[in-house]
Amino acid sequence: MTEKKEKKKCALITGGSRGIGRAICIQLANDSDYHIIINYNNNKEAALETLQEVKNAGASGEIIQFNVVDEDAVKSALTTWEEANPNTIIEAVVNNAGITKDGLFMWMPKEDWSSVISTSLDGFFNVTNHLIQKLLVNKYGRIVNMVSVSGLKGTPGQTNYSAAKGAVIAATKALAQEVAKRNVTVNAVAPGFIRTDMTSELNEKELKSMIPANRFGEAEEVAHAVSFLISKKASYITGETININGGIYS
């Protein structure tokens, strides 16, 4: 009788090429035994830079290209990958891909509404829905959805982004209850002002006075929390939203 070969375990991070996504990839490379799959949409160069950082941390990894909004592209890319890697399982999923198109609601074009909602909400559906059945069969899995303080308290000028992230928070709570019996946890992480490309246009000096910690956060501080939620240490935490915001909304 041949011994059953244990599957290679992987973590998929969408939007993993830059910012918080990159920090998560590197932190998981440091903290876990996962093979790191770095999803990107357009910036292949940045994805390859992240991959090199993952390898520098002593982990294995690869990049995969698809736009999370495009259901067919997601299915095609992941199915192709699964067929090429039959002895693997994507055991951890970080839904990190997201965009902002800020502006006052009364002047907001429908496109700015739709694209922001689609990236966060449809992106969560397209990736997670494709992988969830395999996690349930596996009887173990970790799903972490990157949301925002905007999805909890609402932020003026970000009605679209607040709506998108608020919806993902609600989806997190519902899905967590559906899959908990199979040892699959579903949690959300809600960063506040974090120093990344996405916040580089903001007036940090002016805004930090609103933050009790009196500073912007670092991407690595978010990545540590994500890494913990993906670890076995967080097995009894599910349906939660972890705030990382220096006290701005607590």
Catalytic residue ranges: 161
Q: Identify any residues that bridge with 20 across adjacent strands, giving them in sequence order.
A: none
Place of tokens 């709570």: 173
Phi, psi of 101 (to 5 degrees): -140, 80
Helix H or strand E encompassing 42: none
* Residues 73 and 66: beta-carbon distance below 8 Å: yes
Select from 33, 41, 43, 36 the least CA-distant residue to 13.
36
Query: How many whole angstroms separate alpha carbon 250 and alpha carbon 245?
Result: 8
Nearest to 168 by CA among 80, 94, 57: 94
Q: Nearest-CA neighbor of 98 among 38, 16, 26, 29?
A: 16
Contacts of 106 (CB under 8 A, 6+ apart): none
